[in-house]
Amino acid sequence: MDFFPIFMRLEGRPCLVVGGGPIAYRKVSLLRKAHARVTVVSPALCGELQALKGQDAIEHLARGFEDDDVVDRVLVIAATDDQQVNRRVSELCMQRSIPVNVVDQPELCGFITPSMVDRSPLQVAISTGGSSPVLARLFRSRIESFIPAAYGRLAALVEGYRLRVKERIADGELRRRFWERLLEGPVTELFLSGREDAAREALDRAVETGLDQRDSGGEVFLVGAGPGDPDLLTFRALRLMQLADVVVHDNLVSPAILELVRRDAEMIYAGKKRNQHTLPQEDINRLLVRLAKEGKRVLRLKGGDPFIFGRGGEEIDTLMQEGIPFQVVPGITAAAGCAAFAGIPLTHRDYAQALVFATGHLRDGTIDLNWNMLAQPRQTVVFYMGLLGLPVICREMIDHGMPSNTPAALVEQGTTQNQRVMVGTLETLPEIVKDHDVQPPTLIIVGEVVTLHERLQWFKPGTDHTAESLFSTHGQVHHHRVGTGGKP
The set of catalytic residues is: 250, 272
Residue (of 274, 269, 339) closest to 304 by Cα position: 339
337 close to 229: Cβ distance less than 8 angstroms? yes
Q: What angle do CA 317, 321, 327 make, to 5 degrees?
A: 55
User: How far apart (Å, rounded) are the C-alpha atoms in residues 38 and 31?
Assistant: 7
Kindly report whether the peptide bond that precedes residue 325 is cis, defined as omega within 30 degrees of 0.
no
Q: What are 118's strand-pairing partners?
A: 123
Determine the number of helices (DSSP H) and then strands (DSSP E) in the chain. Answer: 18, 17
Q: Is the bond leading into 255 cis (omega within 30 degrees of zero)?
A: no
379/385 Cα distance (integer angstroms): 20
- Cβ neighbours of residue 1 closer than 8 Å, sequence gap 6 or more: none
- Is 258 exposed, middle or buried (CB count within 10 Å of its CB: 0-12, 13-18, 19+)? middle
* CB crowding 75-100: b at 16 or more within 10 Å, else e: bbbbbbeeeebbebbbebbeeeebbb
